[in-house]
């Protein structure tokens, strides 16, 4: 039996509807779709207006792979959301996310919960890729890392945004995992041990190994 390839969707993550350009990691997302196969399960934590989710959705669709993709966010004006923003102030940020990601709604499963609470709904060792981009405070990021790391399979990938330029995120990563291997100089001229992504997209990346 011949399987018909899906009709390709053009990327639209740079469309004006996303407003703020906070998505800096297309190489990481594209590499995860290439690396993992059918029946993989991805989770994005902190989805805002759907710019990164839209990119991932298109990559998954165009790959033809059966990859589950959950988007976890509270979509509210709670601590951790950038602001001021008219969609937050109107209480319609979730509606904005849904509208922006309409073209890939068949790929995305929104999970409207606080991140740490949502993690409790996933079995340990059940996820292939988890990306953390929620609360950027030290405590918030640390709580997310601790909650989600056990959910990643042995050999899966845990990653997160703003490691390259956010002290709270960097401190949380180092507190949980140690200071990493190697040194590099960030845009502020500070050299430190790192889990920096190879593309310079401001992310930390680590492969989970429990052996």
- Give the pLDDT score at 150: 94
Instruction: Note the pLDDT of residue 22.
Output: 83
Question: Does the pLDDT of residue 89 top 90, yes or no?
Answer: no
179-185 mean pLDDT: 55
Contact criterion met (CB below 8 Å) for 183 and 191: yes
Interval 82-106 mean pLDDT: 87
- pLDDT of the residue at 192: 45
Q: Are 54 and 72 in contact (CB under 8 A)?
A: no
User: Does residue 87 register a pLDDT over 90?
Assistant: no
Q: Cα separation of 100 and 2, whole Å? A: 33
What is the reported pLDDT for 210? Answer: 74
Task: Tell me what pLDDT residue 188 has.
Answer: 39
Tell me what percent of the residues of the chain surpass a pLDDT of 70.
87
For residues 87 and 72, give the distance between their C-alpha atoms in angstroms, rounded to a whole number.
18
Could you list the beta-strand ranges (E) of 22-140: 40-45, 67-73, 108-112, 127-132
What does the pLDDT read at residue 164?
84
């Amino acid at each position: 039996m011949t399987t018909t390839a899906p009709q390709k969707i053009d990327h639209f993550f740079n469309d004006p509807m996303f407003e703020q350009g906070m998505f800096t990691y297309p190489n990481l997302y594209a590499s995860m779709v290439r690396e993992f196969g059918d029946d993989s399960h991805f989770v994005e934590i902190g989805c805002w207006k759907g710019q990164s989710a839209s990119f991932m959705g298109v990559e998954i669709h165009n790959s033809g792979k059966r990859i589950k993709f959950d988007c976890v966010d509270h979509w509210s004006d709670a601590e951790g959301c950038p602001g001021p923003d008219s969609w937050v102030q109107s209480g319609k940020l979730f509606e904005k996310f849904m509208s922006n990601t309409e073209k890939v709604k068949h790929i995305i499963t929104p999970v409207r919960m606080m991140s740490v609470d949502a993690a409790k709904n996933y079995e340990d060792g059940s996820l292939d890729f988890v990306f953390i981009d929620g609360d950027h405070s030290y405590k918030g990021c640390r709580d997310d890392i601790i909650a989600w790391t056990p959910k990643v399979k042995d050999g899966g990938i845990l990653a997160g945004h703003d490691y390259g330029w956010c002290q709270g995120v960097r401190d949380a990563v180092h507190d949980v995992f140690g200071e990493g291997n190697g040194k590099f100089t960030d845009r502020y001229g500070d050299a430190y041990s790192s889990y920096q992504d190879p593309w310079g997209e401001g992310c930390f990346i680590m492969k989970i190994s429990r052996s």
